Structure 1
Amino acid sequence: MKHQTQTRHDDVSGQVIGALINLSGRQRMLSQRIVLHVLLASHGEPGALAVVKDCLATFAATHAELVNGNAHLPGVFSDALRQLYFGTRRADDRIQQFIAYANHAVASLESDSIDAREEIAALVAQATPLLELLQAITLAYQNEMRGIEMASLRRQNEIAEQLGNISMQANIVALNARIAAARAGQFGREFAVITTVLADIIKEMDQLIHSVVDPSGTNDASRRSSAQRAAPVATAG
């Protein structure tokens, strides 16, 4: 199977990885259905062979999408997945081998070949190892999802820290402006109103930051910034 066009890891969204997790999970179910219905077909179960063909076509097409990608999916997009599919685990080769065994079993059953029993036994022998491999693939996609979530959390914390520093500086400026307005007496009354409004805006901005970035109130960076803002240092002389 040809390798897909490389997609940058950072370009893959959590929503896309969620779709990949669902597809890889469905592959586990399909692999079991393929083996089960091959066995049922070997015992003359009506319609079992048709189920095998349908499941096998979906299984093969989905594997191609997971590896090579399509208009909506990136294919194998990370070093961890490339190692799993094309490295020591040889997931791509092993899945292709399972597909080949299944096709041989179907052909033998359709032609009532004397090799059918042998072909079915070879397929059944692949069932458990393949199921374990497909589970490892699903776990790999779940790890990619956790990586994206951690990166998003780090970005949120960095933004919260930056906004906290800006808010702290704005608080200091507003306090110094109020001091300057008080010193100006009646000439600073209008300016004092402006600084009060500014202080209210800063307070609302702080509350918005905390509610969006850290609704549980457990963000260390936000707590540190809040503590700093609680005791600004006046610098106006």
Structure 2
Amino acid sequence: MTPLATRSPAPSRQDTPDHIAGLSLVNLAARQRMLSQRMILQTVLAASGDAEWLRAAQRSLRMFTESQQHLQATTAQLDPASARKITETYQGPRGVGPVVQAFMQLMRSALDQIEVHSPRVSATTAELVGHTDRILEALNTATTAFDEVAKAHSDALMKELVGIVDDIQSVAKEAKVVSFNAQVMAARAGQHGREFAVVANVLSDITSEIDRLTRKAAVLAERSRGR
């Protein structure tokens, strides 16, 4: 397993398997939990000699492996704080990386033994089933970490959005003052200020629309922040 700290480029969308493309990191990490349990069940059924279940388990293992590699590679695209959190989750003193790696190795071993009808299949399968709680707990920990990273990223974006809305509102207020002053000057100029008055009125309409849109954006931002 490639260490999470290695800043290798994440796969592009074109290079990403179909079962990964479009999934958020949180959803992908959560799906690993489901895949781990599915693989264990498929392997137990395959151990009875069913070739179809063996092929299904092999497909699930490939999906699990590709997804795990993708999750690790995405640290290169995260901000430093988020990357450190995910690295710590997998490779820290109590990291889940070794548990996930051991599970994958045991799964490969079990499937290889089933394929060649090894007499060790029963023992390896029993060992694999014994890993059920450990791998599930490890993947729950990883999912929580990705969820926290996603929430922190969402909060940061929301804070930036609120700041942008505030800036736009400030500009709109200044534009309103300019528009009002222009209308006053146009009125004083009488006939000579008619064309200037048209421009001032258009500016007033524009600033009113900007004000309306920024208020709407502010409401949406506040609503999203309260979720």
TM-score normalised by length of structure 2? 0.76
Give me the whole-angstrom Cα distance separating, in 2, the residues matched to 1:203 and 1:177: 15
Unaligned runs of 5+ in 2: 11-20
Give me the whole-angstrom Cα distance separating, in 2, the residues matched to 1:186 and 1:165: 33
Among 33, 47, 54, which residue is 1:49 paired with? Answer: 54
Contact 2:8–2:73 at 8 Å: present in 1 too?
no
Give me the whole-angstrom Cα distance separating, in 2, the residues matched to 1:75 and 1:152: 14
Give me the whole-angstrom Cα distance separating, in 2, the residues matched to 1:121 and 1:167: 69
What is aligned with 1:63? 68
Q: Does 1:2 align with 2:7?
A: no
Give me the whole-angstrom Cα distance separating, in 2, the residues matched to 1:69 and 1:184: 63
Query: What is the letter of the counterpart of residue 56 of structure 2?
Result: V
Unaligned runs of 5+ in 1: 9-15, 220-237
Contact 1:66–1:75 at 8 Å: present in 2 too?
no
Q: 1:173 to 1:107 in 2, by over 3 A?
A: closer
What is aligned with 1:105? 110
TM-superposed CA distance for 1:35, in Å, is 1.0
Pairs aligned (count): 209
Percent pairwise identity: 29
TM-superposed CA distance for 1:87, in Å, is 1.0
What is aligned with 2:14? none
Contact 2:9–2:73 at 8 Å: present in 1 too?
no
Give me the whole-angstrom Cα distance separating, in 1, the residues matched to 2:2 and 2:27: 23
Give me the whole-angstrom Cα distance separating, in 1, the residues matched to 2:107 and 2:78: 24
What is aligned with 2:175? 170
Query: What is the letter of the counterpart of residue 214 of structure 1?
Result: A
Q: 1:217 to 1:108 in 2, by over 3 A?
A: closer
Q: 1:136 to 1:196 in 2, by over 3 A?
A: same
Query: What is the letter of the counterpart of residue 73 of structure 2?
Result: N
What is aligned with 1:87? 92
TM-score normalised by length of structure 1? 0.73
> What SS is found at the alignment partner of 2:24?
helix
Superposed counterparts of 1:1-237, under 5 Å: 1-3=1-3, 4-5=6-7, 18-69=23-74, 74=77, 78-211=83-216, 213-214=217-218, 216=220
The structure having more radius of gyration, on CA atoms, is: 1
Residue by residue over 1:129-164, the C-alpha shift from the partner in whole angstroms, topping out at 9 and shown as x without a partner, is 211221222232222222222222112111111111
TM-superposed CA distance for 1:217, in Å, is 8.9
**RMSD (Å), alpha carbons:** 3.1
Contact 2:44–2:125 at 8 Å: present in 1 too?
yes
